[in-house]
Amino acid sequence: MENKVITRFAPSPTGRLHIGGARTALFAWLFAKSHQGKCLLRIEDTDLERSKSEHTKAIIDSFSWMNIQFDDEVIYQSKNKEKHLSAAKNLVKSNAAYFCSCTSERLKNLREEQQKNGLKPKYDGKCRELDLKEGSDTVIRFRNPQEGSVPFTDLVKGVIEISNHELDDLIIVRSNGTPTYNLSVVVDDIDMDITHVIRGDDHINNTPRQINIFKALGAKEPIYGHVPMILGEDGKRLSKRHGAVGVFEYEQLGVLPDALKNYLVRLGWSLGDQEIFNHEELVNKFKEGNINNSPSTFSFEKLSWFNKEYLSQIDSENLLSTLSSMETEFSQDDYSLEVLNLIRQRCSLMSDFSSESEYFFREVEDYDPKAVKKCINQQAIELLSEVLSEFESSKSWKASDVQEIIEKVLSKHELGFGKIGLPLRVALTGSINSPSIDRTAEVLGQKVVVERIQKAIKEFS
RNA sequence: GUCCCCUUCGUCUAGUGGUUAGGACACCUGGUUUUCAUCCAGGCAACAGGAGUUCGACUCUCCUAGGGGACGCCA
């Protein structure tokens, strides 16, 4: 009980759940689960300007879509404001923090001056020893140690040691009386008994500051694990201009939750040569694997491949039922099931089912010009007419019957299959890419096939 | 500018002093197939560069270069 692992994911609700955030959360969650621990969700909603409750909802929805359940109830950081403030007061009392009356204006000038001189912008400690009292526009600053360094052993990066000279006295309570991020995080992590902080490596620089606050508060700091960022295909940090970056967008595109999860986890984590890990395997084996310490590039191609793999594992009945619950032409009947079985190996995204099945549910309106140019000529039209009359009079309509008829006409003219197969495919589907023509014709049905050939002949004559 | 992190095929990665540097995606070739897709077989392709340490470096150390990140009264 004492040494139970507790991790947390702490997004700020300023937008939908981002792929990068989702992966960090996944790592934190899997880390906890593979150690039989807990993972908590803390919404960092203290930026009242940008935080929106609808975003909180969207974030939680994305996680439940991915089958990630956080433990206990969701914690809202804004509700802990009093705790943060009282921690700040204690710090002032113990002389680990002090009031500061420097204006934003002065700070801004100071920063510019330092930058100009090639220095790292830092607070110069003007009020550090002034022993000021609380005033109407004073802030509280943390009295960061000026000597020594802060070493910590990162779970993924190894030993990192940062000199206190690099750190300055950061503001922990604003002049309007609200606590700032670095204070809130520490107080909440203590409050929630967090044992391991798994977060993006853009937080590495905050870590030594936070460790100093932990110490000043008399608490033991958690173990940290900083996971590298995800980059876009151009090697820059993944952002909006790289296209789809939200979990919700992938859901819309028809990516399966397990596929997205598997892809995201493998992006930066590995266990030997294995690629496919189902949910249970991840939960059981995550801690045996290795988190990479360099940033990785997002690849839609590979995600697509994962999706295809997961798609192929779903049986047709289940697939049909999810498909018919989506905005597609599929419904829960035999015809849809046959269509599905005919086209499923041609699809890697759920959205592919619509485009691949179009001609099964709707009339062929447009013929692919390239296909027409390649396959339709006078001879093709004559052959189509011949096949048409055989089709019309056929008593039975199985794929084998269609096959037989085509071959009969073919052998009469001593021609190869393509002479009829291709034009027929164009007539029935509008293009030359489709499943085998006999099965396609069978599923389409005799009546539809006859009508489409008639229409095509009229169109091309 | 300062500090921090990172660097194996195009991409995701395995590798922890001695390997023909392995797998996956993508790509290419061949086979199966009435087209495409699927499937099967094969192929191309990498240790950023330079110094050390060592009998021996992809593996350890340092430097350089490149990439990413952080430097807010945002989180």
> Reduced to 3 states, what is the DSSP secondary structure of residue A255?
coil
A268: domain CATH number is 1.10.1160.10
Cα–Cα distance for residue pair A18/A7, rounded to 1 Å: 19
Taking the C1' atom of every nucleotide in all shown strands and the CA of A14, the nearest one is B75
Q: Which residue is nearest to nucleotide B12 (CA to C1')?
A: A267
Q: What is the pLDDT of residue A363?
A: 93
What confidence tens digit (pLDDT) does each residue in A131-146 have? 999 989 999 999 999 9
Cα–Cα distance for residue pair A67/A441, rounded to 1 Å: 41
A85 CA to centre of own chain: 36
The predicted model gives A159-182 an average pLDDT of 95
- Answer yes or no: are the C-beta atoms of A152 and A160 closer than 8 Å: yes
Strand B footprint nucleotides (protein C-beta < 7 Å): 1-8, 10-15, 22-26, 33-38, 67-75
The Å distance, CA of A268 to C1' of B13, is 8
Cα–Cα distance for residue pair A97/A31, rounded to 1 Å: 35
* pLDDT over 70 at A27, yes or no: yes
For residues A53, A57, A63, A64, the Cα torsion angle rounded to the nearest 10 degrees is 160
In a domain, A339, yes or no: yes
Q: Which residue is nearest to nucleotide B10 (CA to C1')?
A: A233
Cα–Cα distance for residue pair A195/A5, rounded to 1 Å: 6
Query: Which among A159, A160, A161, A181 has a CA at the least distance from the CA of A170?
Result: A181
- Please, which residues have CB within 8 angstroms of residue A215's CB and are 6 or more apart in sequence? A221
Specify the number of domains making up chain A: 3
The identity of residue A100, as a single letter, is C
A385: domain CATH number is 1.10.10.350
Helical segments of A35-155, H only = 53-65, 81-93, 104-116
The identity of residue A35, as a single letter, is H
Taking the C1' atom of every nucleotide in all shown strands and the CA of A43, the nearest one is B75
In a domain, A214, yes or no: no
Domain end (from A360, A394, A425): A360
Measured CA to CA in angstroms, residue A334 lies from A31, A250, A309, A316, A338 at distances of 44, 29, 25, 11, 6
The predicted model gives A226-237 an average pLDDT of 88
Work out the pLDDT band at A1, boundaries 50, 70, 90. Answer: very low
* DSSP assignment string, A376-387: -SHHHHHHHHHH
What's phi and psi for A331, nearest 5 deg?
-135, 175
The predicted model gives A237-255 an average pLDDT of 87
The identity of residue A292, as a single letter, is N
Give just the sign of the alpha carbon dihedral A299, A305, A308, A313: negative
For chain A, give the longest Cα–Cα distance.
106
What confidence tens digit (pLDDT) does each residue in A273-309 have? 999 999 999 999 999 999 999 999 999 999 999 999 9
The Å distance, CA of A346 to C1' of B9, is 29
In a domain, A65, yes or no: no
Q: Which residue is nearest to nucleotide B66 (CA to C1')?
A: A235
Q: Which residue is nearest to nucleotide B5 (CA to C1')?
A: A201
Domain end (from A335, A360, A385): A360
In a domain, A432, yes or no: yes
The Å distance, CA of A240 to C1' of B7, is 26
The Å distance, CA of A316 to C1' of B46, is 41
Q: Which residue is nearest to nucleotide B23 (CA to C1')?
A: A273
Q: What is the pLDDT of residue A236?
A: 83
The Å distance, CA of A254 to C1' of B34, is 32
| pLDDT, mean over chain A | 94
Query: Do A446 and A385 share a structural domain?
Result: yes
Residue A81: Cβ within 10 Å count: 15
Taking the C1' atom of every nucleotide in all shown strands and the CA of A289, the nearest one is B14
Work out the pLDDT band at A374, boundaries 50, 70, 90. Answer: confident
Q: What angle do CA A400, A403, A404 make, to 5 degrees?
A: 85
The Å distance, CA of A7 to C1' of B7, is 30
**What is the percent of chain A where pLDDT is above 90?**
86
What's phi and psi for A199, nearest 5 deg?
-155, 175
The predicted model gives A408-419 an average pLDDT of 89
In a domain, A23, yes or no: no
* DSSP assignment string, A160-200: EEEEGGG----EEE-TTSPBPHHHHHHHHHHHTT--EEEEE
Cα–Cα distance for residue pair A218/A151, rounded to 1 Å: 17
The Å distance, CA of A257 to C1' of B74, is 31
DSSP state of A124: -
Domain of A397 in residue numbering reads as 369-460
Domain end (from A311, A327, A346): A311
Query: Do A279 and A251 share a structural domain?
Result: yes
- Please, which residues have CB within 8 angstroms of residue A186's CB and are 6 or more apart in sequence? A87, A210, A213, A214, A217, A219
Query: Do A449 and A393 share a structural domain?
Result: yes
Which residue pairs from A87-90 have beta carbons closer than 8 angstroms and sit at least 24 positions apart in sequence? A87/A183, A87/A186, A87/A187, A87/A217, A88/A140, A88/A172, A88/A173, A88/A179, A88/A183, A90/A217
Helical segments of A364-417, H only = 369-375, 378-393, 399-413
The predicted model gives A354-380 an average pLDDT of 91
In a domain, A440, yes or no: yes
Q: Which residue is nearest to nucleotide B7 (CA to C1')?
A: A294
The identity of residue A170, as a single letter, is L
The Å distance, CA of A132 to C1' of B28, is 74
Work out the pLDDT band at A2, boundaries 50, 70, 90. Answer: low
* pLDDT over 50 at A79, yes or no: yes
* pLDDT over 90 at A453, yes or no: yes
Residues belonging to chain A = 461
Taking the C1' atom of every nucleotide in all shown strands and the CA of A120, the nearest one is B2
Q: What is the pLDDT of residue A244?
A: 81
Say what the ipTM of the complex is: 0.94
Q: String of b and e for A154-179 (b: at least 16 CB within 10 Å)?
A: bbbbeeeebebeebbbbbbbebeeeb
What confidence tens digit (pLDDT) does each residue in A300-347 have? 999 999 999 999 999 999 999 999 998 899 999 999 999 999 999 999
Higher pLDDT residue, A94 or A371?
A94
Q: What is the pLDDT of residue A461?
A: 83
Q: What is the pLDDT of residue A370?
A: 87
The Å distance, CA of A227 to C1' of B42, is 38
In a domain, A199, yes or no: no
Query: Do A445 and A379 share a structural domain?
Result: yes
In a domain, A292, yes or no: yes
Cα–Cα distance for residue pair A39/A167, rounded to 1 Å: 30
Query: Do A322 and A301 share a structural domain?
Result: no
